[in-house]
Structure 1
Amino acid sequence: MLSINNLSFYFGSRPMYDGANLHIKPKDKIGLVGANGTGKSTLLRIIDGEYQPDGGTISKSGDCTVGFLNQDLLSYQSEESILAVAMQAFERQNFLQAEIDRVLHKMETNYEDSDIDVLGRLQDEFENLGGYTIQSEAETILEGLGFTTEELQQPLHTFSGGWRMRVMLAKLLLQKPSLLMLDEPTNHLDLPSIEWVENYINTYEGAIIVVSHDRFFLDNTVNTIVEVTGAKLISYAGNYEFYVEEKALRNEIQKGAYENQQQAIKQTELFISRFKAKATKARQVQSRVKALERLDIIDAVVDDNAKVNFKFNFGTQPGRFIMTLNNVTKAYGSKKILTNTAGMIERGDKIALIGANGKGKSTLLRIIDGSEPIDGERTLGHNVIDSFYAQHQLESLDVNNTLLDELKMTGTGKLETELRSILGCFLFTGDDAFKKIKVLSGGEKSRVALAKVLISEANFLLLDEPTNHLDMMSVNILIQALQQYEGSFVVVSHDRFFVSEIANKIWYIEDEEIKVYPGTYEEYETWQEQRILNGEVVETKPQKKTVEKVAEKKPTIDDSAKKEIQKNLKKLNQTLSETENQISKLEADKVKQENLLADPTIFNDPAALKRENEAYQKILNHLEAVNDTWEGVMMEIEELEGNLA
């Protein structure tokens, strides 16, 4: 459908892509990953035609259409309603509707027989294009993305940037392009909307490329990961979890090959150094020199999962209770957020505040901070020192300061070497410390602001969407920092992986009250699903296909049916045994091939390396297929055994 061949693209003298290749087939679901600045969004803009490549080709089939959701759409404004903006996707249907209206209006005052024929043709085409259902289709998608029925008629310009982005996403989904490209679509979505988009993508008939730092979102939506690294595009045939495991394996193989090659280079250089002055060894020395010059150097493995060690120093330890809320009521006009509710934060609480947008999460965070007026009591605990991180605080950074100067403004009295070490933890190395804030990207500014919060010596942190604009490496660093943090915190986040890694307690707002689940996010999800099954709450997302009907009665079976089931079970168990033998053999072949790939002689022969890599991938594909077969057979056996029980 779309083929990228030998792509080259430069920003100044810096190569973003150099000989990169990618082939996108219909129905491919691709997650594009890589560190910030490697060129993920750039690639989408090249495919969309906004940027022209410096070399190589991008070939599309004649019927391939491309739709691109990018962050620039945040600035789009319109006086039209959000429903009308979304329905701009139906360009031909809108044109036909206007023509039908024109003909009907003309016939009211100047009727001609020819108008009947024209009207009939227009109405037939309009009906064939689904014109009579486009409004309900647009309403369904907008409501799935979190808009209420009443909001559909409100002008687009009355909504914030994040909500306008949802309208543009709805418009794009309604266009149904052959290739849908989404750049950080979850940045402006709450959890129910993210889950709705996941369900939509899973049933989308076209191909999709998505750039996202949300690991759960990628795991739930894509079947291929393409990593942007070293100006190349490296494909992994699986979701993000598979990519992490497979990359670790490839890195292990590469690390072994790199170390073997370095040892061989060292020995060769030692030979050259030792015998270069001996005339009798001149031929051998020259041969080795030429061999080194021709050598295809294996790169050292770059660890994307940097381990960091933060040392948090609290000048003051708080008492047992950090914050107490009693009889708190908060409303904006007629819109009630909280009514006579209570909440308590204790020392050591790591709270994730989750839920749909509009429920009052950020409002509650400001109430806890004391910056939001309320009716009721807010009591700050003994010796509590808090620090608040929110997206708007990026604007409070002094753009003329260097990174080092900005950290000094926290007043912690840390030495410059300590501050540079902290900047290093946040991926700012060497002379980066002397960069001006004004030259940083949005994600880099977020890292600086987070670093300031974390070194402030506060014993209570409030963090509002801290992972927005961070790449996965930066999110991983923030996770490690918060895991090592000995104080208490409340985090508002829609990143499920992030929340599952850092929270020991879940808060959510329901029925205008603060509700508490005393456990991890994974445990909360299981508990919430059980509540839905028990009818305690109404589900706000599409029902999972794996949920079975409750208390469904099994039909009884007669003796002849039992014999048939037992006969089928015998065959299936035999197939299962054969499949297990296949898996054992393939796993042994896999290990053998990995050992072969680690041989430095293979790495020195590009043709052999390509051949053995293809053989290795063939084994992996075969192993995956056989594992799928094994799972299918096991499911059939379990189902038949369940019928016999």
Structure 2
Amino acid sequence: MLSISNLNFYFGSRALYEGANLHIKPKAKIGLIGANGTGKSTLLRLISGEYTPDGGNISKSGDCTIGFLNQDLLSYQTDDSILEVAMQAFGRQLELQKEIDQVLYKMETNYEDKDVDLLAKLQEEFERLDGYTIQSKTEEILEGLGFNTDDLNRPLRLFSGGWRMRVMLAKLLLQKPSLLLLDEPTNHLDLPSIEWVENYIHDYEGAIVVVSHDRYFLDRTIDHIAEVSGAKITLYPGNYSYYTEEKSLRNEIQKGAFENQQAQIRQTERFIERFKAKASKSRQVQSRVKALEKIDIIDDVIDEKAKVNFKFNFGTEPGRFILFLEDISKAYGEKVILKKTSATINRGDKIALIGANGKGKSTLLRVISGTEQIEGERRTGHNVIESFFAQHQLESLNVENTLIDELKATGTTKTEMELRSVLGCFLFSGEEVFKKIKVLSGGEKSRVALAKVLISEANFLLLDEPTNHLDMQSVNILIQALQQYEGTYVVVSHDRYFISNIANKIWYIEDHEIKEYPGSFDEYETWMASRPTNQSTAKAVVAKPKPELAPVEHKPVNQNTAKAIEKLENQIMELEQEIEQIENEMASVAADSKFDELKALESKRHAVQVKLEETTAEWELLIG
């Protein structure tokens, strides 16, 4: 259907593609992956004809139609309703409807046989093109993408960029091109909409090329992976999970071939060096020199699974509870978000806040941070130091700062070498740390902003969609960083792979209340699939053993109870410090072989430990 042969494309002096090849067959579903900056979005623009290759050829069959969803569509605005915008996909049907209306209007005052014939002809074509069903089809897709029925007649300009992107996606899906190009289609979708799109793409009759960093999405929608690396395109059969296995196997083979070739080169170079001065060996030496010049060098394998090691420094250890929300209510006019709901965040909680857009996830995150006006009571625990990451904070980066200076501006106590190490973990190496913020891409700015949050020495993090604009390698780095983080955090994200790796609790908003599932995201999905009211969700979940866990109902905490909890937490911290001090004394006397003193200290430590366990049990009973 479409063939890319010996493609060359240059961005300035840098080759994005050089001799690249890719063949797209009818009904193929291809996931296009690669690090940020390798040219994935550029390839889609080359295929769509928006860009012209510097060399090579992109050819398509005569019946190939192309539809392209790209991030530029975010800026599109109009006073037309979203239903009208999406229905623009049916250009011919709308044109026929207009002509039919004109003929009918004319026939009301001037009835002629030729008009009857024209009307019959127009209506026949209109029916053949399913013109009578285009509105119902449009409504079905828009509602599948998360719009309420009441939204359909509202002007497009009233919606945010993410919702406008959904309208553009709906229009594209209704056009049903034979080749569908999707650039990060899940970036602005919530979980229910992502699952709806997965099912739609799975059954789509045309070919699809999709750029996405959502591994779960790729696993459930595509049958080939096209990897962009080193200005080339390598095609792998299977979904993303199969690609990772196959890539690992290919890397192992390539690594072996590289090492064998390097050993052969070193051996040849030693022979040349040893015998280059001997006339009797000149012929063999020259033969080996020519062989080296002709050798096709095998590249070493680049390790893309970067292992990172963050050292988080907390200047202050928080108490046992981080935050109390009691009888919280929040509404915008008549739109109720939260109503008389309560929740508690304990030290060490790793919470993923998930759910459909419009349910109030970002509002709840602002409530937690204390930046949203509410009815009810919000109380923070002892020694809680908070840091907040959201996409709009990218704009607060000082564009004239270098990367290293931007991190220094946080007031961190880390040395420049330590800061360079942190930036290295976020894929900024060598002289790149002296680049100015203003020259960075959106994804690179996100990595800098995340690095600032992680070195802030905060013991409570709030992260709003932190994986947006990050490639897979950067998402993997963030996962590792959060897995090593010993503090507490709440994360809003629609990236299922991400939250399945970083969350030990799931929060969601249902019936205007905060609900908690006390387990991992995979366990939560299985539990949701088992609920009789969630049959549509069940289709998207692989069957797993049903977990024994069930959602936690948060209990309101009155003022007296809160004071008692805080008092107990202070006692627990003092007892823990006392045990640490006793253990340090025990280590000292043990080194001096003072066994009588050691025995007395052991007895004292045991008594304090018993007291600690009793106090902790009392605290757990109160927070119940």
TM class by shorter chain equals: 0.7 to 0.9
Classify 1:70/1:418 alpha carbon distance in 2 versus 1 (closer, same or farther; 3 Å): same
Mapping of residues 114-129 of structure 1, within 5 Å: 114-129=114-129
Aligned counterparts of 1:504 and 1:459: Cα–Cα separation in 2: 17
- Aligned residues of 1:20 and 1:232 also touching (Cα < 8 A): yes
Matching residue of 1:82: 82
Matching residue of 2:173: 173
Matching residue of 1:299: 299
Residue aligned with 1:366, SS: helix
Mapping of residues 87-126 of structure 1, within 5 Å: 87-126=87-126
Residue aligned with 2:132, SS: coil
- Aligned residues of 1:82 and 1:152 also touching (Cα < 8 A): yes
- Per the TM alignment, residue 415 of structure 1 is displaced from its structure 2 partner at its CA by 1.2
- Aligned residues of 2:7 and 2:18 also touching (Cα < 8 A): yes
Aligned counterparts of 1:58 and 1:310: Cα–Cα separation in 2: 45
Mapping of residues 468-507 of structure 1, within 5 Å: 468-507=468-507
Aligned counterparts of 2:368 and 2:79: Cα–Cα separation in 1: 37
Deviations 1:46-102 (A, max 9, x none): 000010001111110110000000000000001100000000000110111111111
Aligned counterparts of 2:230 and 2:102: Cα–Cα separation in 1: 58
- Per the TM alignment, residue 111 of structure 1 is displaced from its structure 2 partner at its CA by 2.2
Matching residue of 1:508: 508
Amino acid at match of 1:79: D
Matching residue of 2:409: 409
Give RMSD over aligned pairs: 1.2
Deviations 1:433-454 (A, max 9, x none): 1111110000000000000000
Amino acid at match of 1:56: G
Aligned counterparts of 1:106 and 1:273: Cα–Cα separation in 2: 97
Matching residue of 1:578: none
Mapping of residues 144-163 of structure 1, within 5 Å: 144-163=144-163
Deviations 1:112-142 (A, max 9, x none): 2110011110000000000000000000000
- Aligned residues of 1:196 and 1:541 also touching (Cα < 8 A): no
Matching residue of 1:344: 344
Deviations 1:169-219 (A, max 9, x none): 000000000000100000000000000000000000000000000000000
Aligned counterparts of 2:58 and 2:505: Cα–Cα separation in 1: 49
Aligned counterparts of 1:511 and 1:82: Cα–Cα separation in 2: 27
Residue aligned with 1:210, SS: strand
Residue aligned with 2:325, SS: strand
The question of 1:198 aligning with 2:183 is answered no
Residue aligned with 2:506, SS: strand
Q: Any stretches of 5+ residues in structure 1 without a counterpart?
A: 549-645
- Aligned residues of 1:321 and 1:346 also touching (Cα < 8 A): yes
Residue aligned with 1:461, SS: strand
Aligned identity (percent) is 75
Matching residue of 2:550: none
Aligned counterparts of 1:435 and 1:232: Cα–Cα separation in 2: 27
- Per the TM alignment, residue 108 of structure 1 is displaced from its structure 2 partner at its CA by 1.6
Aligned counterparts of 1:318 and 1:542: Cα–Cα separation in 2: 40
- Aligned residues of 2:530 and 2:538 also touching (Cα < 8 A): no
Classify 1:547/1:500 alpha carbon distance in 2 versus 1 (closer, same or farther; 3 Å): closer
Matching residue of 1:630: none
Amino acid at match of 2:87: M
- Per the TM alignment, residue 373 of structure 1 is displaced from its structure 2 partner at its CA by 0.8
Aligned counterparts of 1:51 and 1:546: Cα–Cα separation in 2: 41
- Aligned residues of 2:165 and 2:188 also touching (Cα < 8 A): yes
Classify 1:373/1:545 alpha carbon distance in 2 versus 1 (closer, same or farther; 3 Å): closer
The question of 1:457 aligning with 2:460 is answered no
Matching residue of 1:49: 49
The question of 1:418 aligning with 2:418 is answered yes
Q: Which runs of 4+ in 1 moved over 6 A?
A: 545-548
Amino acid at match of 1:133: T
- Aligned residues of 2:529 and 2:541 also touching (Cα < 8 A): no
**Count of matched residue positions in the alignment of Structure 1 and Structure 2:** 544
Residue aligned with 2:164, SS: helix
Aligned counterparts of 1:547 and 1:307: Cα–Cα separation in 2: 32
Deviations 1:207-245 (A, max 9, x none): 000000000000000000000011111011000000001
Classify 1:340/1:499 alpha carbon distance in 2 versus 1 (closer, same or farther; 3 Å): same
The question of 1:376 aligning with 2:376 is answered yes
Aligned counterparts of 1:364 and 1:450: Cα–Cα separation in 2: 21
Aligned counterparts of 2:235 and 2:536: Cα–Cα separation in 1: 35
- Per the TM alignment, residue 105 of structure 1 is displaced from its structure 2 partner at its CA by 1.2
Amino acid at match of 1:135: Q
Amino acid at match of 1:466: P
- Per the TM alignment, residue 530 of structure 1 is displaced from its structure 2 partner at its CA by 1.1
Residue aligned with 1:80, SS: coil
Matching residue of 1:587: none
- Aligned residues of 1:5 and 1:22 also touching (Cα < 8 A): yes
Amino acid at match of 2:299: D
- Per the TM alignment, residue 110 of structure 1 is displaced from its structure 2 partner at its CA by 2.3
Q: TM-score, normalised by structure 1?
A: 0.83
Amino acid at match of 1:342: S
Matching residue of 2:216: 216
Matching residue of 1:287: 287
Amino acid at match of 2:507: W
Amino acid at match of 2:22: L
Aligned counterparts of 2:132 and 2:102: Cα–Cα separation in 1: 17
Q: TM-score, normalised by structure 2?
A: 0.86
- Per the TM alignment, residue 515 of structure 1 is displaced from its structure 2 partner at its CA by 0.5
Amino acid at match of 1:394: L
- Per the TM alignment, residue 543 of structure 1 is displaced from its structure 2 partner at its CA by 3.9
Matching residue of 1:566: none
Matching residue of 2:18: 18
Classify 1:445/1:81 alpha carbon distance in 2 versus 1 (closer, same or farther; 3 Å): same
Residue aligned with 1:277, SS: coil
- Per the TM alignment, residue 413 of structure 1 is displaced from its structure 2 partner at its CA by 2.3
- Aligned residues of 2:526 and 2:541 also touching (Cα < 8 A): no
Amino acid at match of 1:371: T
Amino acid at match of 2:94: N
The question of 1:133 aligning with 2:133 is answered yes
Mapping of residues 179-258 of structure 1, within 5 Å: 179-258=179-258
Aligned counterparts of 1:200 and 1:347: Cα–Cα separation in 2: 41
- Per the TM alignment, residue 106 of structure 1 is displaced from its structure 2 partner at its CA by 1.3
Residue aligned with 1:312, SS: coil
- Aligned residues of 1:196 and 1:542 also touching (Cα < 8 A): no
- Aligned residues of 1:330 and 1:338 also touching (Cα < 8 A): yes
- Aligned residues of 2:529 and 2:538 also touching (Cα < 8 A): no
Matching residue of 2:432: 432
Matching residue of 1:390: 390
Aligned counterparts of 1:355 and 1:71: Cα–Cα separation in 2: 23
- Aligned residues of 2:187 and 2:468 also touching (Cα < 8 A): yes
- Aligned residues of 2:526 and 2:543 also touching (Cα < 8 A): no
Residue aligned with 1:383, SS: coil
Matching residue of 2:322: 322
Classify 1:364/1:88 alpha carbon distance in 2 versus 1 (closer, same or farther; 3 Å): same
- Aligned residues of 2:223 and 2:238 also touching (Cα < 8 A): yes
- Aligned residues of 1:467 and 1:493 also touching (Cα < 8 A): yes
Residue aligned with 2:62, SS: coil
Amino acid at match of 1:138: T
Q: Any stretches of 5+ residues in structure 2 without a counterpart?
A: 545-624
- Per the TM alignment, residue 458 of structure 1 is displaced from its structure 2 partner at its CA by 0.2
Classify 1:547/1:499 alpha carbon distance in 2 versus 1 (closer, same or farther; 3 Å): closer
Residue aligned with 1:379, SS: strand
- Aligned residues of 1:31 and 1:225 also touching (Cα < 8 A): yes
Amino acid at match of 2:5: N
Residue aligned with 1:494, SS: coil
Q: Which moved more, 1:168-177 or 1:396-405?
A: 396-405
- Aligned residues of 1:192 and 1:540 also touching (Cα < 8 A): no
Deviations 1:398-429 (A, max 9, x none): 11111111101110122111111111000001
- Aligned residues of 2:4 and 2:22 also touching (Cα < 8 A): yes
- Aligned residues of 2:272 and 2:289 also touching (Cα < 8 A): yes
Residue aligned with 2:5, SS: strand
Aligned counterparts of 1:440 and 1:313: Cα–Cα separation in 2: 28
Matching residue of 1:617: none
Deviations 1:358-389 (A, max 9, x none): 11000000000000011111110100000000
Residue aligned with 2:88, SS: helix
Matching residue of 1:520: 520
Deviations 1:259-293 (A, max 9, x none): 11101101110111111111111111100000000
